[in-house]
Every structure is written in C-alpha cells, then in structure tokens.
Structure 1
Amino acid sequence: MKHIRAVFMILFMLVVIIVAVQNYEAMSTAVKFRVDFLFFQHETAEMSLYLIVVISFLVGVIFSALYGITERFRQKREIKRLEREAREKDKELNSLRNLPVTADDVNNGESSVSP
C-alpha cells in the first residue's frame, strides 16, 4: 500500500510540475487588488498569480487544520462523555447483579414465562 501511495504522489507531483511549466507565462502575470469602500480605500502592490495561488493554498491549509483540530477536541470530549456514561452503566449493572434473589422474584419470573 505504501508503494502505491508513493507512486500516486509522484504522479501527482509530476502533473503539478507539468501544469506549472506549461502555464508559466500566464501565471507570472502581475496583478493588483483594489478595495474601494466609501470610507476605506486600499490597493495592494503588484503580485504574480503564482504568489496568489500559493497564498490561497496556504490559507486553505491553515483553515482546514484549525477545523480539524477543533473537530478532534470535540470528538475527544464526546469520547470522554461516552466512557463516563459507560462506567456509570457498568456500576449500575454490577449493583443490580449483586442484589439477592428472593422467593417473590422467582415466583414472579415463573408466572410470566409460558410453558
């Protein structure tokens, strides 16, 4: 499985390199971003599209990582809650197992079972 994954990673990187080389001229175009509100105006310095793509990718990775971390903590909290609930149920079950059986319990149990 490790070898298959490595082959796919190599193929993916090869495709990325081919696309990057073929689109070098288009991606090296310099662009500016401008924000124009009534009370706020801002224009960025010229940046290449490569830089914008890399920054966008990194922002996506950061947001995905933050979401993954918060989801992991939520799941850990849920696991602890469920483990605590399971321990409580085990205690209750053990306490019910240790109750003595009386004659009334036996008679009630036999009358409810049909022959």
Structure 2
Amino acid sequence: MRFFKVIFATLFVMFGITFIIQNLEILTRTVQLKLDLYFTTFQTPNVHLWGLILFTFFLGVFTASLYGIYEIIKQKQTIRQLQHNLEILGQELKRASGPVGGTSSEEP
C-alpha cells in the first residue's frame, strides 16, 4: 500500500509541474477582484493568478482539516461514552449473576 502512495504522490507532483510549465504565461497574469454592492465597492490590489490559486487551495486544505479534526473529536467522545456504557453493563452483569447456588425455582 505504501508503494502505491509513493507512486500516486510522484504522479501528482509531476502533473502539477507539467501544469505549471504549460500555463506559466497565464499564471503570471495579474487579476483584480471586485465586489460591488449598492452602497460601497470593495476592490483588491492586483494579485498574480498563481497566488490566488495557491490561496484557494490552502484555504480548502485548512477547511478540510478543521472538519477532520471535528470528526475525530466527535468519534473520541462517542468511544468514551460507549466505553462508559460497557463498564456499566459489565457491572450490572456481575450483579445479576450474583452468588451461584442460591435458591432456584427452576427444578425439573
């Protein structure tokens, strides 16, 4: 499995380098983002397109990481709760089995 991960990562990097080389002229262009509301206008300074693409990529990575951390915390809480329930059920089972050899109403 590790071998496939290395191959996949290598292919991904090679694809990225090929994309950059083939689109270098387009990626070095500058763009200006503008938000025009009725009462005001917001405008960014000129930004290279490659910077904007990198920013959105890392923003997505950050957002996905936050979601992953949230899911891990939620799973840990669920595991903790289930372990607590298991301990309670184990104690109840020990109490229910009680002393062996007591009075039994099930005689044939």
Q: Do they superpose with TM above 0.5?
A: yes
AA aligned opposite 1:2: R
Which SS does the other structure have where 1:74 is aligned? helix
Structure 1 alignment gaps of length 5 or more: 111-115
Which SS does the other structure have where 1:45 is aligned? coil
Q: Could you tell me how far apart the structure 1 residues matched to 2:4 and 2:34 are?
A: 45
Aligned residues: 107
Q: Which runs of 4+ in 1 moved over 2 A?
A: 1-4
Q: Whose Rg is larger?
A: 1
Pairwise CA distance, 1:39:
2.6
The two structures have a TM-score, normalised by structure 2, of: 0.90
Q: What do residues 40-94 of structure 1 show as CA deviations (whole Å, max 9, x unaligned)?
A: 3111011111111100011101111111111111111111110000100000001
Q: Could you tell me how far apart the structure 2 residues matched to 1:14 and 1:41 are?
A: 41
Q: Could you tell me how far apart the structure 1 residues matched to 2:19 and 2:104 are?
A: 83
Is the helix fraction higher in 1 or 2? 1
RMSD over aligned Cα, in angstroms? 1.4
Deviates more, 1:81-90 or 1:36-45: 36-45
Q: Work out the percentage of aligned pairs sharing the same amino acid.
A: 26
Pairwise CA distance, 1:29:
1.6
The answer to whether residue 90 in structure 2 is matched with residue 85 in structure 1 is no
